[in-house]
Amino acid sequence: MLELRLVQGSLLKKVLEAIRELVTDANFDCSATGFSLQAMDSSHVALVALLLRSEGFEHYRCDRNLSMGMNLNNVSKMLRCAGNNDIITVKADDGSDTVTFMFESPNQDKIADFEMKLMDIDSEHLGIPDAEYQAIVRMPSSEFARICKDLSSIGDTVIISVTKEGVKFSTAGDIGTANIVCRQNKTVDKPEEATIIEMQEPVSLTFALRYMNSFTKATPLSETVTISLSSDLPVVVEYKIAEMGYIRFYLAPKIEE
């Protein structure tokens, strides 16, 4: 028996919107720790890892570990039927081949049940090692989204370079080139507007912009984004989900041929 009640149901709606472009089908795993998902895109270039900790739910009952295969576009169709202020409850019985999403309006005058068929998904679970990153950049998520969008109108790839000067996002295409440098800036009114660069050593990596743009669908989940870079690892683009957990996107770099 599984029953997860999330008062801030809009969080779940935003989570689905953040990942459904990248991943078609995925297993949602429920355990005492929380509600999680790990999945790669079809070409195995990017990986998404989601965690919503059990403590973040108003009610969290998960009698035994359960993995539920879902088509994310179908989940999204269901969740789009929930109001932004609705309380969302996810329910499933042991051994059942369906999951139920229950939506309650804030004043309890409307209650809806949407039952969705589950599917069997063969998915590989990858071990993600703890790593020391050469550079970690924290910046406003809207600024990062803007940079990715702007650069993708010029080129297909972005070179992200971190030096003492700051973080530089560069691209090149048929019509020309573009470089955007963000310097560390801690003197802002609100901490979420700061750009903070922790650099152990300079690093420069190249990535496909298409994927970066897809990651920025998570922007509504967090005011800030953290980008962790090391020369021998996929970049991690992390959006923290307040009080609950995170969405982390891993993107494999382009390498010299």
Partner 1 sequence: GGKQSTITNFFRKV
Residue in the structure block whose two tokens are 């953290």: 226
CB 73 to partner 1: min, Å: 22
- Count, residues near partner 1 per rule CB under 8 A: 26
C-alpha distance from residue 198 to each of 91, 135, 223 (Å):
42, 6, 19
| H or E stretch covering 157 | strand 157-163
Strand 135-140 relative to strand 157-163, pairing: unpaired
Nearer to partner 1 among residue 135 and residue 233 (C-beta): 233
User: 193, 112 in Cβ contact below 8 A?
Assistant: no
Asked if 128 is part of the footprint of partner 1 (rule: CB under 8 A), the reply reads yes
Nearer to partner 1 among residue 140 and residue 253 (C-beta): 253
Stretch that binds partner 1, among 26-34, 64-72, 79-87, 126-134 (CB under 8 A): 126-134
Helix (H, G, I), strand (E, B) or coil at 64: coil
- Which residue of 6, 12, 37, 46 would you call a contact of partner 1, by CB under 8 A? 46
| Sheet-wide strand order for 34-40 | 66-71, 25-30, 34-40, 46-53, 245-251, 235-241, 224-229, 135-140, 196-199
CB 256 to partner 1: min, Å: 6
User: 106, 87 in Cβ contact below 8 A?
Assistant: yes
Nearer to partner 1 among residue 189 and residue 257 (C-beta): 257
Asked if 70 is part of the footprint of partner 1 (rule: CB under 8 A), the reply reads no
- Which residue of 34, 220, 245, 253 would you call a contact of partner 1, by CB under 8 A? 253
d(CA 104, CA 225) in angstroms, rounded, equals 31
- Which residue from 196, 211, 205, 197 is spatially nearest to 148, judged by alpha carbons? 211
Site for partner 1 in 189-248 (CB under 8 A): 206, 208, 232-234
Nearer to partner 1 among residue 87 and residue 208 (C-beta): 208
Asked if 122 is part of the footprint of partner 1 (rule: CB under 8 A), the reply reads no
Asked if 47 is part of the footprint of partner 1 (rule: CB under 8 A), the reply reads yes
- Which residue of 127, 130, 164, 187 would you call a contact of partner 1, by CB under 8 A? 127
Residue 55: how many other CB atoms lie within 10 Å: 11
Asked if 133 is part of the footprint of partner 1 (rule: CB under 8 A), the reply reads no
Could you tell me the two tokens for 216? 């920025």
CB 66 to partner 1: min, Å: 19
Strand 176-182 relative to strand 98-104, pairing: unpaired
Asked if 100 is part of the footprint of partner 1 (rule: CB under 8 A), the reply reads no
- Which residue of 18, 45, 145, 237 would you call a contact of partner 1, by CB under 8 A? 45
Binding map of partner 1 across residues 149-188, x = CB under 8 A, - = no contact: -------xx-------------------------------
d(CA 1, CA 192) in angstroms, rounded, equals 39
Which parts of this chain interact with partner 1 (CB under 8 A)? 40, 43-47, 124-129, 156-157, 206, 208, 232-234, 250, 252-257
